[in-house]
Amino acid sequence: MRRILITGANGFVGSALCQDLMVRGYTVRRAVRRSEERPQKVPLLQGAEFGVPVGDIGQDTDWSVALDQVDCVVHLAARVHVMKEAAHDPFAEFRRINTAGTEQLARSAVQAGVRRLVFMSTIKVNGEKTTEAPFRESDLACPGDPYSVSKWEAEQALSRIAAETGLEVVILRPPLIYGPGVQGNFLALLKVLVRGVPLPLAGINNHRSLLYLGNAVDALLFAATHPDAGGKTYLLSDGQDISTPELIIRLAMELGVASPLLHCPAALLRLAGRMLGKMDSVSRLINSLQVDSSAIRRELGWVPPYSLEQGLRATAKWYLDA
């Protein structure tokens, strides 16, 4: 598995994975949406400086050039949560890119002679929150929104293709991935902490599993290269769960600012979330979401190379240096 195609190569995880693979001596091809206007740091399979443009991802995407002479595909490109939704039918758009697009890539990979495809799914396939026990691979799928439904449907499509063709499919379901370059809610939290905005979360008693970028990249490498990974689905995490208040305290310490925690009943936070139309954001802050990632450790011998503490420190340093 020395020649690897990365989709979503310019993204948060994709760019870090490409750089890591190149340092380790792998030959990397980067699939990008459009032709690039300037050279990138990560070379292609042929030694060129630009990514291979594949256009929009969907059921008609032509992957032939990108897949030529490739041993393994790591499929990271996806339609994720959109802050300002503009699609007429968002559910159809999620399915077009995440489900049909993934199936088209897999069938094209089979035709090109690719041996393995690693699919980055999401822990949201298991569900939105945990109550009594962490999520495990053996749990029944319970996706709760268009994004996670489209990912679950993609997983099912990949399983069918693997059974029909012998393509080695590896599915990974991560929780929230953080690290240098992070965007979304985690970046928003960093900004709030630096500004000293009070956060009414001191009374929250939850447990969240996270995944540091460096650990995500290392797990993807294991999935792409380990001889026993084919046909498996694995849940990922740093292996150290943390509550929302503890996360805030640790990040504030690494950022060198005071922890702005205030007490507020969870019921009142939920009420405010419903009134403001921010229930999803509030739920992520106050609910638990724990992941049992022992299977990949036990079966493949994967050990996260970075601790939660190291991950939070590196993320805070990146933010301060940016």
Phi-psi region of 198 (alpha: psi -120 to 50; beta: other; left: phi over 0): beta
Write b or e for each residue in 7-29: b if 16 or more Cβ atoms lie within 10 A of its Cβ, otherwise e: bbbbbbbbbbbbebbeeeebbbb
215-226 b/e with 16+ CB inside 10 Å = b?
bbbbbbbbbbbb
- DSSP strands (E only) in the chain: 3-7, 27-32, 52-53, 72-75, 116-120, 168-173, 176-178, 210-212, 233-235
d(CA 230, CA 1): 12
The answer to whether the beta carbons of residues 311 and 238 sit under 8 Å apart is: yes
Residue 42 DSSP label: S
Give the separation between CA 158 and CA 230, rounded to whole angstroms. 12
Is 234 in the active site?
no
Separation of alpha carbons 150 and 206, rounded Å: 28
Residue type, 158: L
Distance of CA 242 to the CA centre of its chain: 19
User: Given 147, 178, 212, 319, which residue is catalytic?
Assistant: 147
Residues assigned a catalytic role: 147
